[in-house]
Amino acid sequence: MRFSTSLLVPCFAALALAVPNVPRVISSNHGTIVEPTSGVVATTEGSLPFSYKDSNWCEAGYSPISVWLLDYAPTTANLNATGQFTDAAYYFGAFLIGNFGLPPLSGSPSPPTTLTLPDLSQYGAGSSMYIAVVETATTCPPGNQPAQYGLASVEITTA
């Protein structure tokens, strides 16, 4: 008996169309950037104090965050399907905040207390830049939910 691949291709194509895409889920919940405060002047390759108070809206043991530098005021519409900015001026990294007094996890850095800025000279003195934090929730009830992303940002000014 011979199989014809010409019959299988339409079957697989129909199957692929039937699998729904998991949409990005944006949450109105998010934490607060404590530092830096709005209007702080940032210098090229200087550092800024950094502190973020997570919301932990799903009451997880750990809250993943990512920290970004943007040259525009971010909105949740700027996030891609995985909760990232594809056009950021700079990416500071991904960090994990322990909740309920839990210790840091090995291999998962806690947020830094300062952010070292990249070369900002291309933006010119007095330009508005934004520190943005994306807080990700992955354990929201009732379970098996797609990741949810909350966004907080603060405007800083270049020197």
CB-based burial label for 55 (10 Å; 0-12, 13-18, 19+): middle
* pLDDT value at residue 131: 98
Render pLDDT for 112-122 as a digit per residue (tens, 0 to 9). 999 999 999 99
* pLDDT value at residue 23: 60
> Which domains are delineated in the chain?
24-158 (2.60.40.10)
Residues of the chain under the 70 pLDDT cut? 1-24
DSSP 8-state class, residue 108: S
Place of tokens 């525009």: 72
Q: How far apart are CA 41 and CA 63, in angstroms?
A: 29
Amino acid, res. 113: T
* pLDDT value at residue 14: 38
DSSP 8-state class, residue 122: G
* pLDDT value at residue 96: 97
